[in-house]
Structure 1
Amino acid sequence: MPRFRRVPRTAAALASALVILATAAACGSDDKDSGSSNAGSKADASGKSAFPVTIAHKYGSTTIKSEPKRIVTVGLTDQDSVLALGKVPVGTTEWLGGYKGAIGPWASDKLGGGKAPTVLKDTGTGPQVEKIAALKPDLILSVYGGLTKEQYESLSKFAPVVAQPKQYNDFGVPWQEQTKTIGKALGEPQEAAAAVEKTEESIAAAVKEHPEFKGKSALMATPYEGIFVFGSQDPRSRLLTDLGFSLPGDLDKVIGDQFGANISKERTDLLDQDAIVWIVGDVTKDSDKLHKDASYKDLKVVAEGREVYVEETGDYGSATSFGTVLSLPYVVQRLVPQLATAVDGESATKVEQPAS
């Protein structure tokens, strides 16, 4: 299974785990209560308390009574937003890269020399409830996530949980919304807005430098079990549109209400855009395999050299899939030159891999 996939999680493991969680959950509750004495200690610029704060999400709303001290991120990229706001989670969920603390190199300086978070594995069976409870969290974040209602209710037994927003597909929240939601939960709304603005400025600078992107079409895909394309609510696709590209008009109609899906051989026309960005395991092997695929190799996007390859096993690939307030500037520095070469109208120019 490729690293970009988010496996639908079942509630069975959570239900059984809760039977043995009474002690750990009680400890978590005690820790949460002891922190409540600090309610209202966090104030905004006007001097008004940032807490309590209530955040709406897919399963209703969650009220956070006081400033969180022990944050666990179940959302696969939520740690970056927490770090961008000057806080370090006590627990993170591993998704890509195998990094210490599940903190990528684009965000590692935010640790400030402090202790790396405890890493929870994303096994595909659901959050590791026992390990989460043992960390005694006073806030659990799953904004960029796909919690089921059962999982949300189970985790809520021992800490407030902020689940994914209801107005987006699971794993479909925009990075700006992710950052601002987490900023609100941590009592740092102004800091979150400032972090978003800083990253948007880096993207806007690339747009200004490359006006040729406007009016061009692009798509991100990966050769997994055939061809898997990313929809409009995936962070990878959102980066393309933020840079000025348009997505295929019927993309979401083809893949349905998901962040992405495999397409049939009959719909490889979706790939024939002004630029296509492939997320691959190995550039040489996967490009060779694609160029032997009868449904793909004769498309104009191939003949005219408009392919971009991002190797998912490296930092660049991980940062691209993360698509967060901290990873996007890192990605823009590497992806934009590749896209510029892909759409320059010169089929002889080769799209090179970033130096690092």
Structure 2
Amino acid sequence: MTVTLRPIRRTVGVLTATCCMLALSACAGSSDDDSASGTTGDTAAVQAEGTFPQTVPTKFGDVTIDEQPTTVVALGWGDAETALSLGVQPVGASDWLDFGGDGVGPWMEGAYDTSPEIISTLEPEYEEIAALEPDLILDVRSSGDQDRYDKLSAIATTVGVPDGADSYLTPRAEQVQMIATALGRPDAGETITQGYDDMVAGIREEHPEWADKTAATVALSSTGWGAYIRGSERYDTLLDLGFQENTTLADEEVGDTGFSVKLSDETLSKADSDLVVAFAVGTTPEDVDSNSAWQRLSATKDGHSFAMPRDISSAYSLGSPSAIEFAMKKLVPLLEEHTNS
């Protein structure tokens, strides 16, 4: 079983024409230089296959890929969708958000020609991975656990987390670039990241008023409340859109996860901001709405808070190139509604 390097038809929710063009050019593997030189489809095919060798710096040392991978397993949070956006179909992948089926969100429905073997997330089945005979394993946004990495790298060349990115803290842009480089397509990775930058820049330009507003993102789980901090994409994405950091939360002690602080019904008020967005983790948006501490927030009383709907939450949290475009298309109207009231 092999992967095919080719453009993918994606469900793209872009907010600017510039972002759309960048995302599509990244998947097609074209460039301005190709257009100028009048290259043929044969050259484009060579570009789609990638250029090698490539070296990817990781927490575990530099990883060199000498030639085109033909059998890829993608295990990290969002790694499989990122590979798909770069034209590669993993033969094995982890379904972190329990989408079912091929393990991808509805924004990438039909991206696979052949369904991948679904591998467990926190405790992957190493024997099943080995049976796929991969020549490259992507574990770019994961726990960063040494034992996990050792077991995976004993099976095949493995690209793990970058330095300082344990506990799933690999930044979106770095995840894209590491995977693109490992697949021999670093330029395509840069194009995808530029597409995201252009998208959020366009949104900021349309909403300069957000630069004067503080924002917080919180989560209600079965164990209570928590708040995401800078370094978590659930928070950083709002900052990318121009919102300002809640300085009270920034001064709180960071929890074991490295990307959140623990709150309670009594201390949730520390998250009060001009905008408060809640994620339901193992709970429901309705649980958030009915929570008494949530109802006591000034932001809630003023109509400046909301619980993220499930479809947006999944896309926003996964953060892959296609997922974040899908999320932004639906999220921006909600942000407008709850900051203009």
Question: What is the match of residue 228 of structure 2?
Answer: 230
Gaps in structure 1 of 5+ consecutive residues: 1-41, 347-356
Name the aligned partner's letter for residue 79 of structure 1. A
Q: 1:311 to 1:65 in 2, by over 3 A?
A: same
Distance 2:207 2:110 in 1: 30
Name the aligned partner's letter for residue 114 of structure 2. K
Q: 1:52 to 1:188 in 2, by over 3 A?
A: same
How far is 1:109 from its partner?
Answer: 4.6
Distance 1:95 1:180 in 2: 21
Note if 1:259 corresponds to 2:255: no
Distance 2:239 2:153 in 1: 36
TM-score, normalised on structure 2? 0.79
Note if 1:212 corresponds to 2:209: yes
| Greater CA drift, 191-200 or 217-226 | 191-200
Note if 1:177 corresponds to 2:174: yes
How far is 1:133 from its partner?
Answer: 0.8
Of residues 158, 163, 167, the one that matches 2:164 is: 167
| Greater CA drift, 251-260 or 148-157 | 251-260
Note if 1:337 corresponds to 2:337: no
How far is 1:272 from its partner?
Answer: 0.4
Mapping for residues 27-106 of structure 1, pairs under 5 Å: 50-106=51-107
Gaps in structure 2 of 5+ consecutive residues: 1-44
How far is 1:253 from its partner?
Answer: 4.2
How far is 1:82 from its partner?
Answer: 0.4
Distance 1:103 1:189 in 2: 23
Note if 1:287 corresponds to 2:274: no
Of residues 307, 311, 316, the one that matches 1:309 is: 307
Question: What is the match of residue 242 of structure 1?
Answer: 240
Q: 1:139 to 1:253 in 2, by over 3 A?
A: farther
Question: What is the match of residue 276 of structure 2?
Answer: 276
Distance 2:58 2:250 in 1: 23
| 8 A contact 1:221–1:279 mirrored in 2 | yes
How far is 1:250 from its partner?
Answer: 4.6
Question: What is the match of residue 124 of structure 2?
Answer: 127
Q: CA-to-partner distance for each residue in 1:39-74, whole Å, 9 max, x for gaps?
A: xxx9769xxx83222211112222212111111111
| 8 A contact 1:97–1:318 mirrored in 2 | no
| 8 A contact 1:203–1:329 mirrored in 2 | no
Distance 1:169 1:249 in 2: 24
| 8 A contact 1:164–1:170 mirrored in 2 | no
TM-score, normalised on structure 1? 0.76
Question: What is the match of residue 295 of structure 2?
Answer: 297
* Number of residue pairs the alignment of both structures matches: 292
How far is 1:260 from its partner?
Answer: 2.0
Distance 1:260 1:330 in 2: 25
SS in 2 for 1:143: coil
| 8 A contact 1:231–1:259 mirrored in 2 | yes
Q: 1:142 to 1:251 in 2, by over 3 A?
A: farther
Distance 2:297 2:55 in 1: 51
SS in 2 for 1:214: helix
| 8 A contact 1:282–1:311 mirrored in 2 | no
Q: CA-to-partner distance for each residue in 1:112-142, whole Å, 9 max, x for gaps?
A: xx112111122x3x22211111111111111
SS in 2 for 1:201: helix
